[in-house]
Structure 1
Amino acid sequence: MNTADIAEALAADDKITKTQAKSLVDGVFKAIAEAATKGEEVSIPGFGKFKIQDKPARTGRNPATGAAVEIAASKKVAFTPAKQLKDAVNG
């Protein structure tokens, strides 16, 4: 499922145009991305949480040569599903 599919489902459920639904879906994802850029946690009850995790610098290996490579510290966005979502997925 992609954003167009989500927008189409939203349009059908809420009796709005696909263009309006696409705008809403894009707005939600934009808001989540902006919050993540600021380092904020986004919590959606019944769905889950998006939060920023710091990944420390580390030494890795080049798989082609086996040479040691320094991997810089970075941040990643992690998603933790809510219990309701886990339960729905697992039956």
Structure 2
Amino acid sequence: MPETTTIDRLELADRLVRTGNYPSTRAALAAVDDVTRAIGSCLAAGQTVHIRRFGRLSVADTPERMGHNPKTGEPISISAGRRVRFKPSKALLNGGEL
């Protein structure tokens, strides 16, 4: 199984600079921040974000449900909430060039 690596926003910006499309890490970092901010605001508004050959991000409501306190075993109510779901594209799943 391949080793799992976490890429932070600075590493992502450095990779963008290495493509030659951004003159500096600062410019690439601004682009990363702009994209993540735009995706976040769309999701906060309840919109679905579809990025071709990458995948689809959507917001799903989760209903209120019963759980338990792990220390005491006492039943508790877990309030309803919203979760972000990601469905990868076939191109991403197949490891093809995006």
**Counterpart residue number, 1:59:** 66
Higher helix fraction: Structure 1 or Structure 2? 1
- Report the 3-state secondary structure (helix = DSSP H, G, I; strand = E; otherwise coil) of the residue aligned with 1:51: strand
- Partner Cα separation in structure 1 for residue 94 and residue 71 of structure 2: 42
TM-score, normalisation: structure 2: 0.87
**Counterpart residue number, 1:22:** 29
Which runs of 5 or more structure 1 residues have no equivalent in the other structure?
A: none
Which runs of 5 or more structure 2 residues have no equivalent in the other structure?
A: 1-6
- Partner Cα separation in structure 1 for residue 22 and residue 92 of structure 2: 25
Aligned residues: 89
CA RMSD of aligned residues (A): 1.1
- Is residue 12 of structure 2 the alignment partner of residue 6 of structure 1? yes
TM-score, normalisation: structure 1: 0.94
Displacement after TM superposition at 1:16 (Å): 1.6
Displacement after TM superposition at 1:15 (Å): 4.2
- Report the 3-state secondary structure (helix = DSSP H, G, I; strand = E; otherwise coil) of the residue aligned with 1:33: helix
